[in-house]
Structure 1
Amino acid sequence: MAANFLDPSENKALISRFFLLMPDAPRRWGTMTAGQMLVHCADQLRVSRGEKRVTSLWIPGFLKSLLKKRFITQFKGFKPGMKTLRELDARRGMTAPVGFAADHATLIRLLSPAGYGPGGLDHPLFGHLSAQEFGEITWQHLDHHLRQFGV
Structure 2
Amino acid sequence: MKSLFDSETHTEILNRINKLSESSQREWGKMEVGQMLRHCQYPLKIALGKHTIKKPNFFMRLLYKGFKKSMYNDKPWKHNLPTAPGFKVEDKRDFKVEKDKLVALVNDFHEERIKKDRDPHPAFGHLTYDQWGQLEYKHLDHHLRQFRI
> Do Structure 1 and Structure 2 share a fold, with TM-score over 0.5?
yes
Gaps of 5+ in 1: none
Contact 1:29 1:148 survives alignment (8 Å): yes
- Note if 1:57 corresponds to 2:56: yes
**Equivalenced residues, count:** 145
Mapping 1:66-105, distance limit 5 Å: 66-67=65-66, 69-72=68-71, 76-91=75-90, 99-105=94-100
SS of corresponding position for 1:123: coil
Q: Which has the bigger relative contact order, CA under 8 A and spacing at least 6?
A: 2
Which of 108, 116, 121 is equivalent to 1:119?
116
Deviations 1:100-133 (A, max 9, x none): 1111111111112114553142211112212210
In the alignment, which residue of structure 1 is the partner of 2:15? 16
Deviations 1:65-120 (A, max 9, x none): 945754446673311110111111123xxxx6652111111111111211455314
TM-score by length of 1: 0.81
Moved more, 18-27 or 130-139: 130-139
TM-fit CA distance, 1:5: 1.1
Letter in 1 for 2:17: F
TM-score by length of 2: 0.82
- Note if 1:109 corresponds to 2:104: yes
Deviations 1:46-78 (A, max 9, x none): 123332221273459x96994575444667331
Pairwise CA RMSD of aligned residues? 2.7
Letter in 2 for 1:108: V
Gaps of 5+ in 2: none
SS of corresponding position for 1:53: coil
- Note if 1:41 corresponds to 2:36: no
TM-fit CA distance, 1:25: 0.6
In the alignment, which residue of structure 1 is the partner of 2:132? 134
- Note if 1:145 corresponds to 2:143: yes
Deviations 1:1-43 (A, max 9, x none): x111110111001100000001111110001001100000001
Structure whose residues are more often helix by fraction:
2
In the alignment, the residues of structure 2 paired with residue 70 and residue 4 of structure 1 have an alpha-carbon distance, to the nearest angstrom, of 15
